[in-house]
Every structure is written in structure tokens, then in C-alpha cells.
Amino acid sequence: MARVVVDVMLKPEILDPQGQAVANALPRLGVSDISSVRIGRRIEIEFAGEPDLDTAREIADKLLANPVIEDFSIRVDEAAGDAAQMSA
């Protein structure tokens, strides 16, 4: 089993109110050396066979991310394959 991870983030020029709320709360926790926080999503897609990055990219572009306000990156999660082999 192969896992592809899709990370979706707001584009840098888009305001991130969730990130700002977290950044504003950090001083109350005693953390003062953080200048910015951005909140995003992580989606894991598990393929039955080999990971198909083209299919994952199409899924991300058409379904998982809004290309007007979000960017996404795709990577194969090598650790998922290693964990599956260890449990077998």
C-alpha cells in the first residue's frame, strides 16, 4: 500500500484568520519568538498499488484545493510503506 500526502495551504497573499488567532494566543502561553502562523490541511491518499502522483495531483487540483486561494504540494509518504512492510 502506498500513501500520497497532499498539503493544502492558503496562498501567501491570502489573509489567514485562523493562523492570526493562533499567533495572537501564543504570548499568553509564554511564547514570544513566533512572528507568523499559517494553518493548512493535510490529506492522505492511499493507493492499493504504486502511488500515482498524476492522479493525486488531479484529485488535489479538482477536489481538495481551491486554486484561486490555495496552493498544494504532493509527496509520497515513504514511512507509510515502511510501516506496512514491518507489520506484514
pLDDT digits (tens, 9 = 90+) for 17-55: 999 999 999 999 999 999 999 999 999 999 999 999 999
Of residues 78 and 10, the one with the higher pLDDT is 10
The pLDDT of residue 30: 96
The highest-level CATH class for domain 2-84 is alpha beta
Domain ranges of the chain: 2-84
pTM, to two decimals: 0.82
**Chain segment 52-75, per-residue pLDDT in tens:** 999 999 999 999 999 999 999 999
Taking the C-alpha atoms of residue 14 and residue 46, their distance in angstroms, rounded to an integer, is: 30
Nine-digit cell string for 42: 493535510
d(C-alpha 18, C-alpha 38), whole Å? 8
Indicate left, alpha or beta for 71 from its phi (over 0: left) and psi (-120 to 50: alpha).
beta
Cell numbers 492522479: residue = 55
